[in-house]
Amino acid sequence: MLFTLTTINAQKSSKIVVEHADHFDVDETLFPDAALLQGNVRVNHEGVIFTCNKAYFFQKENYIKAFGEVQMVQGDTLFLNSKYAEYNGEVKQAYATGNVVMRSPESTLVTDTINFDRNTQEAYYNTYGTITSKENKLRSKSGRYFANEKKFKFLTAVTITNPKYTIKSNHLDYYTNSGHSYLFGPSTITSKENFIYTEKGFYDTKKNLAHFLRKSYIKYKDRRIEGDSLYYDRNREYASATNNVKVTDSINKGIIKGHYAEIYRNLKTEKDSMMITKRAVAISLVENDSMYIHGKKMLITGKTGERIIRAFNNVRFYKTDMSGKCDSIHSNQKIALTKLIGRPILWNYDNQMTGDIMHLIGNNKTEKLDSLKVLNNAFIISKDTIGTGYNQVKGLNLYGKFKDNKLSEVDIIKNTEVIYYMRNDKHELIGINKSVGSKINLILDKNTIETITVYNNPDGDIYPEKDLPENARKLRGFIWRADERIKSKDDIFPPEENELDAKIQADRKAEMAKDNLPLEPSKETLDYDKNNPKPVVK
C-alpha cells in the first residue's frame, strides 16, 4: 500500500515533515513512541531532504533513525550517503555511519562515521577519511568540514597526494574550491625534484605556488635553501627567499648568505641560476679554510661543477692568509679561474699587491691555489720587518706561484723596479737595494721576501740607509693602504649593510617572541568563488 504522510506536523516549520513512504505503521508495543516508515522514504526538515529504505520516526522528539541507502541532501551544496543515519530536528544535528560518502561540488569525503551540525554547517569525523578533489587526494585520521567556507581542518596526521608531490602535516586547513592549503607545525612537501619543510606556510595546489614563513627550507639533491620567508613556484622551479637567507651547496662545499635571493632551476639542462643581495656573501671551503666573498649583488649560474660566480659593486673578500677588494669578481669553477676586475688590491699575509687586472688560478684536484697573475701596472709592497721602510717591486705584469696556498715565488716582467731593505741573519740593516731591470724574481719564505734577483742588465746599487733620502725610498705610484686591509670576515661588509642586518635580526627576534599562530586565510582564498564564478549553463 502506498502511504503518503505530508500533513504530520506540517504546521510547524521546525518539525520534521514526512513527504513520502510506501508503508507507514504505528505499533506502540513493538515501536514505542515511533512510527515505522518503509519503502522510498522521504522526509524534509527546513529544506534538507532525507531519503532511505526504512526509518523510525519519533514525532514527539522530532527525531529520525534511517536505515539502508540513506541520503541527506542540502540544496546543491552537500550530499551525504551512508548505511545508517540519525537526525535530531530540535538541535539540527545528524549522525551517519557505515560507508559514509559526503559530496560537495568540489570534493568527496569517504569515511566510516560522521557528524553534521546544520546550525554551524560543520561536519566532523574521527575515523580515517579520504577526500578526493580534482587535483588532490587527502587522507587523515580525523577532520572537520566547514560547509560555508568549503574548508577542511585537520589537527591530526593528514596527507595530500598529488601527481607531482605529497604534503604531510598535523595541522592543515584545506579549501576545496580553491585548493589552497594552510600548514601549521612540522610539515613536509615531497616531490621528485625536492623536499620542502616548514612550520608555517601556504600552498596553492592548483597553481603550484607556495609561501613558507617559519623554520622553512627547500632541499634539492645538491643544495638547500633557507630563509625567514620563502616563495616557491613549482611550475617554473623558481624560489625567492627574504631575510636570513642561506643556500648550502653540499657538492661544492659552499654557502651563500644574504637577505634576499632568487633561485631558478632548469631541470632539463640541470643548469640553474641564483641572484643574492643585501649583505650577500659566498663562503667556499679551500683546504680546511673558508674564503668569504662579498658584493652588493652576486650571481651564481651553471650546472654542478661548472658554476660561475659573479660579484658586483664594492667587492671584498677574506681568507686567513689572503684578502682583497675590487669593483667586481668573475669566478669560473670549471677552470678554477677567478678574475678580480676594476681597481683590484690583494693582501697575501703582509704583501700588498695592486694592478689593473688580477687572476687567481686554482687547482681543482688539490682544491688549492696554484698561481696568480697581475696584469698591467703590477705593484707589490711589504713593510720592512723591523724599520719603517717598505720593500717594493713594480713592473708591467706579475706572475706568482702558490705552495700550500702561500705565495712562494713571484716574477715581475718588463720595466721592473725594486726597493728592498737588506738585512743579515741578525736582522741588522745592510743597505737598501734600489735597482731596475727587465725581470725580477722574488722568493718568499714564511710569507716574507727571502731573496730578490734582478735579471737582464740590472742597473742599480745598494745604498747605506743614510745615503738614500726619504723621498727616494718610494717608487712612483707607491700607495700603502694598510688602513683598507680586510683583517677578518666581518670587515668585508660596509657599515650600511651591517646596519640593515642588525635591524633584520632585531625584527626577527621580536617576531619569534610573539605567539606562533596559524596563517590567516588570504583575501584571495576567502573571495575565491566571487572572483572565479562558475559559468552559467544555458
Write down the pTM of the prediction: 0.84
What is the rounded average pLDDT of the residues 371-386? Answer: 90
End-of-domain residue from the set 82, 104, 126? 104
Q: Which domain holds residue 76?
A: 13-104
95 in a domain, yes or no?
yes
CA distance 97 to 112: 5
pLDDT at 526 over 60: yes
CA distance 135 to 24: 45
Query: For residue range 61-70, what is the model confidence (pLDDT) as tens digits?
Result: 999 999 999 9
What is the rounded average pLDDT of the residues 393-418? Answer: 89
Residue 88: all three cell numbers together: 535530531
Query: For residue range 441-481, what is the model confidence (pLDDT) as tens digits?
Result: 988 876 677 788 888 777 888 899 889 998 899 999 999 99
230 in a domain, yes or no?
no
208 in a domain, yes or no?
no
Contacts of 299 (CB under 8 A, 6+ apart): 273, 274, 275, 308, 309, 310, 311, 312
CA distance 459 to 476: 17
CA-wise closest residue to 315 among 291, 298, 301, 302: 298
Query: Can you tell me whether residue 498 is helix, strand or coil?
Result: helix
Domain count, the chain: 2
314 in a domain, yes or no?
no
348 in a domain, yes or no?
yes
pLDDT at 110 over 80: yes
Residue type, 7: T
Contact indicator for 74, 47 with CB cutoff of 8 Å: yes
Enumerate long-range contacts of 441-446, CB under 8 Å, 24 or more apart.
441/409, 441/410, 441/411, 441/412, 442/380, 442/393, 442/409, 442/410, 442/411, 442/412, 443/408, 443/409, 444/351, 444/406, 444/407, 444/408, 444/409, 444/410, 445/408
End-of-domain residue from the set 64, 88, 104? 104
Longest CA pairwise span in the chain (Å): 136
Query: For residue range 274-331, what is the model confidence (pLDDT) as tens digits?
Result: 999 999 999 987 667 788 999 999 998 887 778 889 999 989 999 888 899 999 999 9
The continuous run of DSSP H or E covering 500 comes out as: helix 495-513
325 in a domain, yes or no?
no
pLDDT at 394: 93
Query: Can you tell me whether residue 465 is helix, strand or coil?
Result: helix
291 in a domain, yes or no?
no
CA distance 485 to 474: 20
CA-wise closest residue to 441 among 456, 433, 453: 453
Query: For residue range 186-239, what is the model confidence (pLDDT) as tens digits?
Result: 999 999 989 999 999 999 999 999 999 999 999 988 889 999 999 999 999 999
End-of-domain residue from the set 471, 492, 513? 492
CA-wise closest residue to 254 among 219, 312, 305: 305
Residue 216: all three cell numbers together: 622553512
Residue type, 489: K
Residue 376: all three cell numbers together: 698591467
Residue 169: phi and psi, rounded to 5, are: -160, 165
Residue 5: all three cell numbers together: 504522510
- 4 confidence band (pLDDT: 50, 70, 90): very low
253 in a domain, yes or no?
no
Contacts of 307 (CB under 8 A, 6+ apart): 252, 300, 301, 333
CATH of the domain at 450: 2.60.450.10
Ranges 119-133, 242-256, 258-272: which has the least confidence:
258-272
CB atoms near residue 530 (< 10 Å): 7
pLDDT at 267: 67
Q: What is the DSSP string of 112-123?
A: EEEEEETTTTEE
CA distance 255 to 224: 9
